[in-house]
Copies of this chain bind each other. A is one copy, B any other.
Amino acid sequence: MKTKCCDTHISEEEAQNLLSENGISRTKIKTSILLLLSKSKKPLSASEIYQKIGPKNCDISSIWRTLKKFHEKGITRELNLGEDFFRYELKDSHDEQDHHHHHVRCRDCGDIKQLEECDLSAFDKMFSKLGFKKMEHYLEFTGICSKCS
């Protein structure tokens, strides 16, 4: 039920293993980003990661390239929470269609909470539990159409 997404605090060794398992070179930046994502209580944006790593310690373009690679390899999930940039979070290995979660973001203060699982009928209860009101939801689908499959 608990995903690797947030607040997991993986170790440096675990991070490096994750990289190797996915055929990604074990570099300092890539390890740092994995650690940051696992420590964070909410999905992070590229520039938040950049700030945390320290602008002196790496270039923002390297962060973008890393995030892109992580996404290609399926290590992370790319989220649009109604801001004008993406946020990224770790995916759990068994994180699939039927096991994943979503988020709530306050349209006022921007605070982000994680929902426990994806079962839309249950969302209303979670919102009141979290103290969120005036909910709006964003839901769209992508897939492969008949012409393309």
- A54 CB to closest chain B CB, in angstroms? 28
Closest to A119 in B: B120
Interface contact B145-A141, CB-CB below 8 Å: no
Q: Across the interface, do A142 and B104 meet the contact criterion of CB distance under 8 Å?
A: yes
Given contacts A102-B139, A118-B139, A138-B138, contact A145 B109 (CB under 8 A): yes
Say how far A41's CB is from chain B's closest CB, in angstroms.
Answer: 14
B148 in contact with A127 (CB, 8 Å): no
Known: A80-B80, A127-B143. 14 other contacts (CB 8 A): A80-B140, A97-B136, A105-B141, A105-B142, A106-B143, A107-B143, A108-B144, A108-B145, A131-B145, A132-B143, A132-B146, A134-B149, A136-B143, A137-B139
Interface residues of A in 65-120 (CB under 8 A from B): 79-82, 97, 102-109, 111, 113, 115, 118, 120
